[in-house]
Structure 1
C-alpha cells in the first residue's frame, strides 16, 4: 500500500504569489550567487523578487528560455539543493545560450506557477529581459554536468515535491517502462495530428500506475475551505497522485524530434533536464540523443461470439464529425478525405478486432449520418472479407451538446431486432448551485433501445434493454467557482439513470437491463461524486464524498469492470494513470447470462499520432472498447 505522505512546505506552495515592486540595479551592481543558494532547500527561493547574477553551463535550450547548471566539481555538495535553474527569456534565448557554453546571466528570481494553476508547484526561475539584464559567454565547448541517475530512493517519500532537489538539473533514467503513450493535438476536420512528444513512464520494476480512490492530493491541500470540509467529510479518501510517474518531453528542446511511443515499450538512457509542468516533474530530453526504444504491443482481435452467445459493446469514437455542413448549427466539418479515412479506420476496428458485436452503444457521434456511414462500411467490409452481411443499422437522436456529439447505437440487423428506440430526459432541467434554476441536465441524453436477439434453436427471442450513455466530463470538477455546478450535475445525471432503472425493475423484475457507455467515472469513489456507486445502488456514505447521493436502486446492479483482473481495469489513460471511464453495468436477470467481459486494447495505449495513419486501426479514439459476452441459455 502506498503511503500518503504530505509534502513539506506545501501549504506555502498553495499561496497565490504577489510580485512586489523592485529596484532594477545595473548589472555591475548585482551580486553573483551560486545556483544552489538561489534554489535553497524549500519550494520557494529566499531570493524571490531579488536581482541576482548567476553562472553555469547551458544544458538545454528551449523556445523561451534555457537551463544552466553548476559545473561538476564546483557544487555545494548538499543533496537537498538543486544545482540547476531555468532562465526564462520570454522570447527566443540569446544565440549563444546553447548547450556546452558556460555563461553568466543576470535577472530577477521568480517563482513561476505553470498555467497560474493554484494546485501545482512552482518553478524557481531567473527572469531575464534582453536589453536590461546581463548575458555573457565565458567559455565554449564545456562538458555538460553528469546527470543524476534517478533511483527508487528518490521516489520513496511519495510526495508531490520529492524531486524538487533536482529541479533544473540534468537527470537520467537507466531503464524506463512507458505507461502512457505520446499525446498530441488532433484536427478532426482534417484527421491530422500534431504530436506533442510527451509521454509518461516509471522506473523499470515499478507496476503500472492506476487511478485510485480519493481526491487528488494538490486539490486536498489547496482547497480554500479545506479545514471546514475535512471536518465535515472526515472519511474522504486521498489519492496519492502516483508520484512514481515521470513525464517525458521529447519536443521542447530546440532542434529535437518528438518521439511517438506506446505503453509497454521500454526505453534505455532517458537523459535530460528536470523541469516541471502540468503538475508533474518532467524530463526534457537532450536534443540529438534520443533514448533507445525496445518492445511494443499490437491489438489482439476479440473472439467472435459463438452460436449460443451474443456481445454488447460500449465504444467512444471521439468527436466523430462528418463532411456535411449543416448551416443551422455551429460545427466542425471534416474534409471528404478525412471523413472517409475515419470511417474506414473505425469500421475496420469493428470488423477485424471487435468481431462485430451484436449491439454497440456508441458515444461521440456527431449525428445519425455518421453512424449510417459507419454501418454501411462495416457491412461492406464484412461481405468483402467473405463473411455474412451483418446488416448493421444506426440509431441516434440529436441531444443538447454544444459540440454536436451524441450517443446512439449500431445494431447488427442480421441477428437483432429493435422493438423501440427512445431518448430520455432531453428537456430535463436542474438548479445550478448559485446559478440558473433551469439549466439543462443532460448534454448527451441517455438513449435506450429495447431489442430482441433471435434464437434459432428455441425460436424464442432473447429480450434485452440497453441504454447508451455519455455523462458530464470531469472537466472543472475541482474548480473553486465551477466545481459545485459540475459535481451537482454529475450526481443528478447518475441519479436520473438510477431512478429510471429502479422504476423499470419494479415494473418488471425479470427485465434484462444493460447500462453502457462512457460514464466519465471511475469504478470507485473519487471523493467528489460517486457515479458508479449511485448507478449500482451502492452509494458512498455522505461523510466520504463531497456530492453524495441516496440509494435509489433497490435491486443492486453489477459493474462488470469489477469482475476482471485489476491489471485490466482501464479504458483510458490520463496524466499517466490508467483508469476505467467506459463501463458496462447489468442487473441480476442479465447476470445469469454473463459469459465474459473485457476491453479491446486498440486506443488507450497507442500514441496519438496513430490517429492520422489511415492504414492503422489503432488510435481511432482515445478510449478502449468495453465488450461483454452473454449466453442465450441460462
Structure 2
C-alpha cells in the first residue's frame, strides 16, 4: 500500500499494543471520571491523573497457595472467530489426597479492566472434585468454534473475554465485590484466582499471558500454585477435561482410540499488507503465516507486552492496507531497529483490555519465529501526520453496530486513517500539547492547531459529534535510564520531530505514537489561576472534587488542596467537596465516619492562612455509594461561620429522604443536612445529593452538593461500535430528573428561593442528564454556558478539554452571580486533583 510520506526517520519510548498491557477503563467515553480509570501499565512507568481503584500491583500471596482445588485452565475464546471450541470453559483440578465437595463453591468471572461499578458473574457448582481429578465448567457459547466441549460437570452463561479477565474459585455463590487485586487478596472466600491477559486482578507479578481465541492458559501437570499467575500458567492449545476423564486434560488417558487428525493448511506465505487487510481486522485471523518481511522500526523490551514493530519497505498501492505490524514476543526481543527480518507465526486480532469493552482490535503476529536477514538498514520513510493529512471527521457510523469489517476510508475519517497506519512508522512535527504528562509517561498533542482551541491552549470538546480528530497520544520507547519522559502542561509545545510506530491504546481514545525520537517541550507559559476577590456583600460558594481524599494521603496533598482553597479560590464562604473518603480510606472494614479526613483538611486550611471552617456531611451506608471499594466517598459542606450560618434541622441520615416544608419565606428543608431520595434506585452504588440550608446576611440559601454516577462502562469514542453506547447515561438521567423535581418543588414553594446546585455531575453541559436537571434552563441555569465558549471546561481527558463539574443556580439568581472555573489542576502535569474547582460570587 502506498501512503504519502514525509521526512526521514528519527528515535523514542513505550506503548500499548501487543498482548497483556494495561487493563481500566476503561475503556469508556470521553470524560470517563477517574473512578473508572483503573489501569496497570506496560510503560517503564509512569489515567493518568486520577487512578482511584488501588491495589493493582504485585502482592505476595492471595488466599495462600491452595493444597487441593485450583483453577487448572481458563479458555475465554470459545465460540469466537477462529476458536477451537464452541464454548468458554474453566477447568478445576485437585492436587490433594481427598475429594472436595464443590456444592459450597462457585466459579466467578470479572472483566480484565474493571471499574468501580463492575460486577462479578457467578456459576454455582455441584458434585465433588476427586483427589487428583478434574472438573469442567462450561460457560457461554458463541457462533464460532469447531468442537463441542466434553460434557461439562457444571454449566453457566458467562461470556468470558478471550484475551483478558479474572476467574476465581469462590466459597459460596454470592458474587464477590472486590475489583482490585489487593481487595480480592483480602477476601477470605477466594480459594484460588487467575487473572489472564491484561487483567488488573491477578495473583503475583502479573496475569497469565497468551490467552486468545485459539489458546487457553493452563497450569502444568504438577499443578504448581505459587500464587503468581504469570509464573504458574502458560498458553497453549485448549484441553478441556471433565470429571469422567473425557477430554484432553494434561493427565487424562485417551478414552477413544487415537484418530488421524484432519490435514491442516500449510502456513500462508504473505506480505504484511496481506495480513493487515483493508479493514480493522485481519483476513488471516487465527491462521499461521510465513515469510512476512520488513525492517524493524521499534522495539518494546519491557512490561507484559514485549515485542517489536516491523514494516515492509515495498508497499502495495492500496492506502487502506498497513505495511507495519506488531510482533508479540512475550519476552525481550532479540532484534534491533534497522534489522531486516522475516517472521513466521500466527495472526491474532488482539483486543487490549478485552473484546467486551468495545475497543478496536490490534492485528499482530504471535508465537513468532524470527529470522534476521541483515542489520543497519534505513527505515521506511515515516508518514507525516499533520493538519493536511488527518481528516476532520473522526469515525464512520454503523448505526450502533461494529465498524471493524467496514473497508477503511483513510481519506475521509481520522480513525480510519490511523487504522490504515497501524504499526507503521509515522512522524509529527512541532505540536501543541492538549493533555498534560500523566503518571504513566504519556501526553496528548494535536496535529490540528486550529481545531477547537481553548483560551489556554487545549482542545475543546463541544459535542458527541466532534471528538477532535487531531488528538494523538505520545508515549516513548526510549529507556528511562537514557532519557526521562518530558513533563508538559496543556498549551506547551512538543517541539521538533517525534517519530515511531503508530500503536493503538485503549486508554488514549485514539492512537499513540510509540516514539523512537521524541521532541522537546517548549513552555506555553500557563500558570494556575487565582479567582477575583469578592465584595464584602457577596457570598462565595465553590465546588471541588478532591479525588478520594483520605487521612492516609500524604500531607502534601492536604497542603496543596488547602493552598488551592485559600489562595486560588480566596477562601470561599461555602465549599461543596466531592470524594471525601472515610477515616481509613480504601480499607473495606465497615468504617464510614469521615471526621478525621475533614479535621485534617480543615487544619491544613488554617495552616495555609484560611478560616476555621466547620463542616456538615452525612455518613453513607457502608459500600453503598460507589467509588473506591471501602472508601465510602461522599459530599461534604465546609463553611466559614464568620461569614455564613448553617441552619441545622435534625433528622437527616443516610437513608431518610429530605423534604420541603412551608411556603414563601417560611420554606425550609425537613432535614439539613439531608439527602435527596437516598433509597431510590437512581442512587444505587452512587453518591446521594446532599442538601443544606445556609444563611448569608439574613438571606436564606439552599445549596445542593452532587456527585452523579460515573461514566464507567461506557464505550469509548474510539470504540469499534459507532456511535458508541453511553450505558451509564441512563442512571444519570434518572438522577437528574429526581433532583430536578426536588428543586422544582422548592422553587414552587418559594418562587424567590435562592438555590445553588453544584458538584461533579460526571456529564457535559449538552448531555441529556444535565439538560434534564436544568429543564433546558427553565428550572436551573447552568453557568458554564454563560462563559465564552473557549473557557467552557473543568477537566481534561484524552486530550479533550471538557465539562464534568457544574454550578447551576435558580433563574432568579443568574443575573446576580459572577462565575469562574479556576484552572489549577486539569491542565497541569503536577495535579492535586484531576478536576478544576469552580466558584461563584453571589449577591443574594
TM-score by length of 2: 0.56
Q: Does 1:604 align with 2:826?
A: yes
Aligned-residue offset at 1:347: 0.5
- Give CA-to-partner distance per residue, 1:438-476, whole Å, 9 cap, x none: xx547322222222223xxxxxx3331111111111212
Name the counterpart of 1:378.
605
Following the alignment from structure 1 to structure 2, what is the Cα–Cα distance between the partners of residues 60 and 46? 25
Contact map agreement 1:198 1:250 (CA 8 A) in 2: no
Name the counterpart of 2:136.
none
Name the counterpart of 1:368.
595
Following the alignment from structure 2 to structure 1, what is the Cα–Cα distance between the partners of residues 715 and 510? 21
Following the alignment from structure 1 to structure 2, what is the Cα–Cα distance between the partners of residues 114 and 254? 24
- Give CA-to-partner distance per residue, 1:65-87, whole Å, 9 cap, x none: 43343454x33354333221111
From the two aligned structures, give the one with the greater helix fraction: 1
Contact map agreement 2:576 2:635 (CA 8 A) in 1: yes
Contact map agreement 1:71 1:144 (CA 8 A) in 2: no
Alignment of 1:392-471 (within 5 A): 392-400=613-621, 401=625, 402=629, 403-420=631-648, 422-425=672-675, 428-430=678-680, 441=684, 443-454=686-697, 461-471=698-708
Name the counterpart of 1:250.
476
- Give CA-to-partner distance per residue, 1:518-539, whole Å, 9 cap, x none: 11121113xxxx2212221239
Q: Does 1:266 align with 2:511?
A: no
Contact map agreement 2:781 2:808 (CA 8 A) in 1: yes
Aligned-residue offset at 1:427: 6.9
Following the alignment from structure 2 to structure 1, what is the Cα–Cα distance between the partners of residues 282 and 606? 64
Following the alignment from structure 1 to structure 2, what is the Cα–Cα distance between the partners of residues 18 and 48? 8
Aligned-residue offset at 1:486: 4.3
Pick from 443, 449, 460 the counterpart of residue 210 of structure 1: 460
Alignment of 1:226-625 (within 5 A): 239-250=465-476, 257-268=484-495, 269-278=497-506, 280-287=509-516, 289-296=517-524, 297-323=526-552, 334=553, 338=554, 340-366=555-581, 367-382=594-609, 390-400=611-621, 401=625, 402=629, 403-420=631-648, 422-425=672-675, 428-430=678-680, 441=684, 443-454=686-697, 461-477=698-714, 486-525=728-767, 530-538=768-776, 556-594=779-817, 596-607=818-829, 610=830, 619-625=831-837
Name the counterpart of 1:123.
362
- Give CA-to-partner distance per residue, 1:466-523, whole Å, 9 cap, x none: 111111112124699xx89844432232222112111211221112110011111211
Name the counterpart of 1:82.
322
Following the alignment from structure 1 to structure 2, what is the Cα–Cα distance between the partners of residues 147 and 499? 57
Following the alignment from structure 1 to structure 2, what is the Cα–Cα distance between the partners of residues 147 and 477? 34
Contact map agreement 1:198 1:251 (CA 8 A) in 2: no
Contact map agreement 2:447 2:471 (CA 8 A) in 1: yes
Unaligned runs of 5+ in 2: 1-78, 85-213, 215-236, 238-260, 392-411, 454-458, 582-593, 650-671
Following the alignment from structure 2 to structure 1, what is the Cα–Cα distance between the partners of residues 694 and 764? 28
Contact map agreement 2:281 2:363 (CA 8 A) in 1: yes
Contact map agreement 2:540 2:574 (CA 8 A) in 1: yes
Following the alignment from structure 1 to structure 2, what is the Cα–Cα distance between the partners of residues 448 and 154? 51
Contact map agreement 1:200 1:576 (CA 8 A) in 2: yes
Contact map agreement 1:59 1:144 (CA 8 A) in 2: yes
- Give CA-to-partner distance per residue, 1:202-259, whole Å, 9 cap, x none: 3333334433444xxxxxxxxxxxxxxxxxxxxxxxx243332212223687867433
Name the counterpart of 1:221.
none
Contact map agreement 1:423 1:446 (CA 8 A) in 2: no
Following the alignment from structure 2 to structure 1, what is the Cα–Cα distance between the partners of residues 816 and 562? 28
Name the counterpart of 1:69.
310
- Give CA-to-partner distance per residue, 1:322-368, whole Å, 9 cap, x none: 13xxxxxxxxxx4xxx1x22211110111111111111111111223
Count of residue correspondences: 509
Unaligned runs of 5+ in 1: 1-15, 185-194, 215-238, 324-333, 383-388, 433-439, 455-460, 540-554, 611-618
What SS class does the counterpart of residue 115 from structure 1 fall into? coil
Following the alignment from structure 1 to structure 2, what is the Cα–Cα distance between the partners of residues 349 and 627? 12
Aligned-residue offset at 1:144: 2.1
Change (3 A) 1:500 1:31: closer
Aligned Cα root-mean-square deviation (Å): 3.0
Q: Does 1:92 align with 2:319?
A: no
Q: Does 1:182 align with 2:437?
A: yes
- Give CA-to-partner distance per residue, 1:550-594, whole Å, 9 cap, x none: xxxxx5211100100111111112222221111111012322421
Contact map agreement 1:176 1:270 (CA 8 A) in 2: no
Aligned-residue offset at 1:30: 4.3
Contact map agreement 1:251 1:258 (CA 8 A) in 2: no
Worse-matched range after superposition: 443-452 or 269-278? 443-452
Name the counterpart of 2:155.
none
Change (3 A) 1:462 1:425: closer
Q: Does 1:47 align with 2:47?
A: no
Q: Does 1:141 align with 2:376?
A: yes
Change (3 A) 1:353 1:55: same
Contact map agreement 2:503 2:514 (CA 8 A) in 1: no
Following the alignment from structure 1 to structure 2, what is the Cα–Cα distance between the partners of residues 281 and 486? 21
Change (3 A) 1:117 1:48: closer
Contact map agreement 1:61 1:253 (CA 8 A) in 2: no
Following the alignment from structure 2 to structure 1, what is the Cα–Cα distance between the partners of residues 828 and 747? 40
- Give CA-to-partner distance per residue, 1:62-113, whole Å, 9 cap, x none: 23343343454x3335433322111112x2143x222122222210122222
Aligned-residue offset at 1:171: 0.5
Pick from 431, 442, 463 the counterpart of residue 197 of structure 1: 442
Contact map agreement 1:67 1:168 (CA 8 A) in 2: no
Following the alignment from structure 1 to structure 2, what is the Cα–Cα distance between the partners of residues 175 and 449? 50
Contact map agreement 1:368 1:395 (CA 8 A) in 2: no
Following the alignment from structure 2 to structure 1, what is the Cα–Cα distance between the partners of residues 726 and 832? 33
What SS class does the counterpart of residue 304 from structure 1 fall into? coil
- Give CA-to-partner distance per residue, 1:134-158, whole Å, 9 cap, x none: 2221112222222111132432223
Change (3 A) 1:283 1:589: closer
